[in-house]
Structure 1
């Protein structure tokens, strides 16, 4: 079951480093500042921990705007699913 909710940014682990496009982050910051976050990021919830693998530009934009939470689509998953994402 997938649930959309606000998640504290500091509770989302991002195990795979990504290189973000600075212009895209700036554009998203402006958009989020003006109309709010329109599209949730996707996170896995494994044993009460949140892991983010997508939405890296939105994540950075919210971080740089000083937001405490981010709108996320949360999918509960077992450790085996997490391991597949990390492989």
Structure 2
């Protein structure tokens, strides 16, 4: 696993999640004041990035106009990706 700033536009979010908008607003305020404190988790499969957690942080950074987001990147095989999509 490595920690890396990845362009938000390169991270696919294959599972829909309904975010708590109040939590997103609070995170936006916090990120503006002190920055993102906890990286989101992404899987790297064949050079593609997939995010399954950190949905509130991802939305907050996106709405703030950030081009990158700090990620804990774990390489995985296509079969591991399929398990996450099941």
Whole-Å separation in 2 of the counterparts to 1:7 and 1:34:
21
- Alignment root-mean-square deviation, CA: 0.2
What is the count of residue pairs matched by the alignment? 86
Q: Where do 5+ consecutive residues of structure 1 fail to align?
A: none
Alignment partners' CA distance in 2, 1:18 and 1:7: 21
- Corresponding position of 1:71: 70
Give runs of ≥4 in structure 1 deviating > 6 Å: none
Shift of 1:17: 0.4
Distance 1:20 1:69 in 2: 20
Is 2:10 aligned against 1:11? yes
- Give the Cα–Cα distance (whole angstroms) in 2 for the partners of residues 35 and 5 of structure 1: 18
Specify every segment of 5 or more residues in structure 2 that has no aligned partner in the other structure, as ranges: none
| Deviation of the 1:33 alpha carbon | 0.2
The aligned counterpart of 2:54 is 55
